Amino acid sequence: MTASTPPQNKVFNPLLFMEAQCGIGISLLGQVLIMLWQTVGYLVRGQVDRAETFRQAYMIGVKSLSVVSITALCTGFAMSLQISRELVTFGADTSIGGVVALALIREIGPITAGVMVAGRVGSSIAAELTTMMVTEQIDALKVMRVDPVKFLVGPRYAAALLMMPVLSTYAMFVGLLAGIIIAKSAANVSPDTFLDSVKMTILDRDFSVHYLKSLINATLIIMFSCAIGLSTRGGAEDVGIATTRAIVWTMISIFIFNYVVTALTYAPR
């Protein structure tokens, strides 16, 4: 009787791991850019199903209001409480409104809406499209000479471009409402004083940055989710893997582009 040879344990090689991850990242970025170019072409030519666009707008916008509301309200409470206590310590309680509003308009509003929509909508899109790939529904569309990008990605992207600025603005106003409540209860700053500070601090370019970030977030959420969903093949296990990849890549991209836009648009007041 011959003794069976024990299984050989593979040694983890960090260099090979990084090389594989970089290759996956470059391939995914290429797919995202190609898909974005094709989708924008369909939008410019008006070749997008309007009924499907409105349905996706309801799914992306209306059904995300609850999670965006809770997140923006709690974030506004926590941030306003911290800012109020620090500014009161330095005797600058009249500046609470301006500081809170500036943070909400330029950073917290777009980030809150982007992260919540990425977690709720981006994961759903990735799972849906991956399931369609696994069950060969995408192949059936191609057989019928229907472009999946036009049929599936275009309406979702158009809906996201419409709803993300709305959700970001809504998150901003919810955060401001939380700031007014905290400023009154924690620092005894009246709503009139709070709003006067907002008017003196906020400039038109702050709103431009706000809406630019919301449009970028919409692009990142839809393009990464759809690109991952339409490029995944396999079985049921791959649906979960694709969903996780979509959330991770989307959220990382949102924070990276948030910093890039902030750095490029920063100017002394």
Q: How confident is the model at residue 1 (pLDDT cuts 50, 70, 90)?
A: very low
pLDDT of residue 174: 93
Query: Looking at the predicted structure, is the pLDDT value of residue 93 above 60?
Result: yes
Q: For all residues of the chain together, what is the average pLDDT?
A: 86
214 φ, ψ (degrees, to nearest 5): -65, -40
Q: Which of 18-32, 88-102, 126-140 has the lowest average pLDDT?
A: 18-32
Query: Looking at the predicted structure, is the pLDDT value of residue 67 above 70?
Result: yes
Quick: pLDDT tens for 188-209: 888 888 888 888 888 888 999 9
Query: Model pTM?
Result: 0.86
Quick one: three-class SS letters along the chain?
Answer: CCCCCCCCCCCCCHHHHHHHHHHHHHHHHHHHHHHHHHHHHHHHCCCCCHHHHHHHHHHHCHHHHHHHHHHHHHHHHHHHHHHHHHHHHCCCHHHHHHHHHHHHHHHHHHHHHHHHHHHHHHHHHHHHHHHHHHCCHHHHHHHCCCCHHHHHHHHHHHHHHHHHHHHHHHHHHHHHHHHHHHHHHHHCCCHHHHHHHHHHHCCHHHHHHHHHHHHHHHHHHHHHHHHHHHCCCCCHHHHHHHHHHHHHHHHHHHHHHHHHHHHHHCCCC
The proportion of the chain whose per-residue pLDDT surpasses 90, expressed as a percent, equals 41
Domain boundaries, the chain: 51-264
pLDDT of residue 185: 86
